[in-house]
Amino acid sequence: MKKKYALFTNDVEDHSIWFNDLRYETGEKVVAEGMPILLDIYKKLNIKTTFFFTGYMAEKFPEVVRMVLPYGHEVASHGYSHKVAEAFDVLPLNKQIEHLNKSKQLLEDISGQEVISFRAPALRVNQHTPIALEETGFKIDSSVASQRFDMFLSFGGLNKLKWLTAPRLPYRTAKDNLFKKGNSSIIEVPLSAFFLPFTSTTMRIFQTLTFIQKRIINIESMLNEKPMVFDIHPNEFIDESSDVRVIKRRASNTISYFLKDVLRGRLKIKNLGNSCVPIYENLIIYFQSHNFDSLPLKEYCKTEGYL
CA 57, CA 13: separation in Å to the nearest integer? 6
Which domains, ranges and CATH numbers included, belong to the chain?
6-303 (3.20.20.370)
Q: How far is CA 232 from CA 102, 164, 254, 257, 279, in A?
A: 24, 22, 29, 24, 12
User: By C-alpha distance, which of 273, 275, 229, 256 is closest to 10?
Assistant: 229
Segment 8-57, tens digit of pLDDT: 999 999 999 988 889 999 999 999 999 999 999 999 999 999 999 999 99
User: What is the reported pTM?
Assistant: 0.91
CA 273, CA 238: separation in Å to the nearest integer? 4
Query: How big is the CA angle at 107 (ends 248 and 134), to the nearest 5 degrees?
Result: 95
| Count of other CB atoms within 10 angstroms of residue 58 | 27
CA 234, CA 299: separation in Å to the nearest integer? 22
Segment 209-233, tens digit of pLDDT: 999 999 999 999 999 999 999 999 9
Q: What share of the chain is helix, strand, coil (3-state, %, to 5)?
A: 50, 15, 35
User: By C-alpha distance, which of 204, 198, 206 is closest to 287?
Assistant: 198
pLDDT in tens, the chain (307 residues): 689 999 999 999 999 998 888 999 999 999 999 999 999 999 999 999 999 999 999 999 999 999 999 999 999 999 999 998 999 999 999 999 999 999 999 999 999 999 999 999 999 999 999 999 999 999 999 999 999 987 555 665 677 889 899 999 999 999 999 999 999 999 999 999 988 899 999 999 999 999 999 999 999 999 999 999 999 999 999 999 876 566 666 656 655 555 455 555 566 788 999 999 999 999 999 999 999 999 999 999 999 999 9
Which segments within the chain are labelled E, that is strand? Answer: 6-12, 15-16, 21-22, 50-53, 74-77, 117-118, 140-141, 171-174, 177-181, 187-188, 193-194, 196-197, 228-232
CA 139, CA 49: separation in Å to the nearest integer? 17
Pairing of the two strands 187-188 and 193-194: unpaired
| Cα 288 to the center of its chain, rounded Å | 21
